[in-house]
Amino acid sequence: MKLGFMYTAYLVANMAIGLLFMAMIYVNGLLGTYDLSYGILTLIISVWGLARTFKSSNEGKISAGVQHSWLLVSFAIGYISLALAPVFTASLAIVAFQSLLSAIQAVWGSFLLVQAYRSGYSIIRV
């Protein structure tokens, strides 16, 4: 499968993930605000990445994909490392749901970055 297409799929999936996080505004307390902020951030990065992808040539699509995936993976690590703190008290189901979504972001994105690196697209160079 072409890398450019794989990145596009990842960014579209992240748009959906961003919307799901935003939907957590209905969770009471700090966690709702935290998830809403993170959801908006994810959505902005994904939409921005997709816009760049559609405007670019094939090589440009991969470069844009690498940059935006890297941002999403890094923010996902930051998100999950705070989301499990006691200050965000939540039910087990919510914690599991959050963890699953951010794990998808981090693992899928990391896999794509490794693929890109093997194809000569170093994160530092793109």
Partner 1 sequence: MTEEAEKKEVKGVESSEKGESKFDDYSLMEVPKNQRYGFFNMFLVFGSVYGAIAVIWAGGALGYGLTFTQATLAVLAGTAVLTILGALMSAVGAHSGLSTYTAWRFPLGRWGGKVAGLLLITVTTGVGWYAVETWLFGIIMNEVYPTSPFFSVGTAAIWGGVLMIIMTYVGYRMLSFLSYFSIPFHMWLIAVGIAIVLALKGGMSTVLSAVPTHPMGLLDGISAVIGLYIAGTIISPDIARFSRSAKDASGAWIAHIVFLYPFLILGGVAIVLATGSYLITNAMLKLGMGIGVLLIILFGQFIINTDNLYSGSLSLVNFWPMRREWASVINGVIGTAIASYIGFSAGASITPFENFISFLGEVLPAMGGILVADFFLVKPFLERRRNPKERYKFRENDRYYNLNIAGIVALVLGAAVGIFVNAGIPAINSLIVGLVSYVLIYAAFKAAGRSPEVLPYVYKGGRLK
d(CA 8, CA 87) in angstroms, rounded, equals 35
Instruction: Please say which residue, 6 or 88, places its beta carbon nearer to partner 1.
Output: 88
> Which helix (H) or strand (E) is 124 found in, with range?
none
Q: Please state the closest distance from residue 5 (CB atom) to partner 1, in A.
A: 23
Instruction: Please say which residue, 2 or 81, places its beta carbon nearer to partner 1.
Output: 81
Contact window for partner 1 (CB under 8 A) among 15-23, 48-56, 94-102, 118-126: 118-126
Contact window for partner 1 (CB under 8 A) among 11-19, 50-58, 64-72, 90-98: 64-72
Q: Which of 16, 84, 96, 100 binds partner 1 (CB under 8 A)?
A: 84
21 binds partner 1 (CB under 8 A): no
* Per-position DSSP letters for 51-102, written without gaps between them: HHHHHS-HHHHHHHHHHHHHHHHHHHHHHHHHHTSTTS---HHHHHHHHHHH
Q: Give, in order, the Cα–Cα distances in Å from 102 to each of 2, 49, 57, 63, 106.
A: 24, 18, 30, 23, 6
78 binds partner 1 (CB under 8 A): yes
Closest CA to 47 of 22, 6, 18, 77: 18
Contact set with partner 1 (CB under 8 A) = 30, 34, 37, 41, 67, 70-71, 74-75, 77-79, 81-82, 84-87, 123-125
